[in-house]
Structure 1
Amino acid sequence: MDRSAFFRYLTEVDARLFPDGMSDAQQRGLTVKLTIWDAHYSAYPDSYLAAALGQIHRETGGRMEPVLEAFAADRSEAAQRLQAAFDSGRLSWVKTPYWQADESGQIAVGGGDIQLTHRRNYLKAEAQLAKRGIACGLAADYDRILDPVVSAHVAFCGMIEGWFRPCRLADFDAGDGRLDYRAARDVVNGDGAHIGDEIVRNCEIYAAALRAGGGFQRGRAK
């Protein structure tokens, strides 16, 4: 794929996602994701990548690099912010605070491009990536999810294989690689009714940028 054309589309042709220009950090984050997709996931339709990038854009607040929940500097700060929100009643759907230290002594607040919470999900991600021959060390060190390469694999595999919720991208595939981007929000979060328009916009812009760059050569999934 012509990455220059991809980035040019996002910064010059349709700059709605990057109205103030694309920072070096944003370009670096996107570059890692394109590289990982090209090397490991290019057997899947480009619409799957567009869906992943569009949702990552939302989940990272447009940073396009792995973040911690509440955009905190570290897990302790994230836990403090979540506890304050919980105490004020702003996390009414949370039954058991997951930001307290677990049996490993670590704090399993959300982290990554598509955020993982709870130790069981860090363990699952490590086990599933190991099946693909990808060692990530998430069980021993949750902050490994902030490694851009590890995080990209978790985001892509998680959406393709259905780790985050009981559905996967293929469930929203019309059969020819076209995705219902609005409905596919459910792969990550069940809030599509509230932010569906934003998700569709994000995904369609990334899809157009991928087309501008010529897309990826379909090959055998690795």
Structure 2
Amino acid sequence: MDRKAFYHHLSVTDPQLFPDGISAAQRAGFQTKLDVWARWYAAGHPVSFLAAALGQIFRETGGRMEPVLEAFAPDRKTSAERLQKAFDAGRLKWVKSPYWLPDETGRHPVGGGDIQLTHRRNYVNAEQRLKTRFGVRIGLAENYDLILDPVISAHVAFSGMIEGWFRPCKLADFATAQGLDYAAARDIVNGDAKQIGPEIARNCRIFEAALKAAGADQNFGPPQHAVDWPVPQVTPVGARIRALFQRLAGRFG
């Protein structure tokens, strides 16, 4: 794969998504995703699957192409405050109950990552699925902010869409004789395909064209940079005990 050709297509040939060019931060985000795909996914999946993921990620990250917290906040508390303010103002009519309030661990399970994980159950599920698929334990269930690690986040996005972690459907469900139905595949991430499916399809088609212009469909090639799993952080015993008491207090308080 010729990555220069990939970036040239997105910034010059068809700059709809990046009319001001690709920033250093966006390029870094692409770099990790392309390297993760090259190392773990390219051999077993078509580039249309990568295009589908990139098209969704563009929407989920507001075009930043790197893991973010919901409402583009600097931390979870601020994210929760912004969501509560929007909810109180009636701007989140699809939300039945505020999922951003502190959970039984005392953390705010606001959306985070390349594909926004919300609710503790989804962080726990991602932790379990990564262990099953790759044999690694990264501690995501104990530390939600690990979803902001670019390697972890890329895996959650790719594996989540391929295996159907987020909703009861996966990428293969939307394969047709003409290729992937990118608009309908929005349902993998969220149930708003009828509203924004055309936007998602546009994104995905642009990324697919860029990947093919770079020869990714013929020979994706190896990673160009190291994309190892981050070393798990061991939680001190005292912190573990405090977390246990916080969970118990939240459950029985």
Q: What TM bracket, shorter-length normalisation?
A: over 0.9
Residue 92 of structure 1 and its aligned partner are, at CA, apart by 2.6
Aligned length in residues: 218
String of CA shifts for 1:63-98, please: whole Å, max 9, x gaps.
Answer: 000010111111011100111112122223322211
**Unpaired stretches in structure 1, ≥5 consecutive residues:** none
Once the two structures are superposed, residues 2-59 of structure 1 have per-residue CA deviations (whole angstroms, 9 ceiling, x without a partner) of 1111111111111111001110000000110000011111111110000000010011
Determine if contact 2:103/2:120 at 8 Å carries over to the other structure.
yes
Instruction: Look up the equivalent residue of 2:156 and give its one-letter code.
Output: V
Offset, 1:175: 5.5
After TM superposition, list the pairs within 5 Å mapping 1:1-222 onto structure 2.
Answer: 1-42=1-42, 43-131=44-132, 132-174=134-176, 178-216=179-217, 217=219
Moved more, 10-19 or 83-92: 83-92
Whole-Å separation in 1 of the counterparts to 2:189 and 2:110: 16
**Structure 1 segments (4+ residues) deviating >3 Å:** 216-219
Query: SS where residue 95 of structure 1 aligns?
Result: coil
TM-score, normalised with respect to structure 1:
0.94
RMSD (Å), alpha carbons: 1.5
Instruction: Supply the distance in 2 between the matched residues of 1:101 and 1:59 (Cα, whole angstroms).
Output: 23
Whether the 8 Å contact between 1:45 and 1:218 is mirrored in structure 2 is no
Taking the aligned partners of 1:218 and 1:10, their CA distance within structure 2 comes to 17
* TM-score normalised by the chain length of structure 2: 0.83
Seq. identity, %: 64
Aligned residues of 1:44 and 1:218 also touching (Cα < 8 A) = no
Q: Which structure has the larger Rg?
A: 2
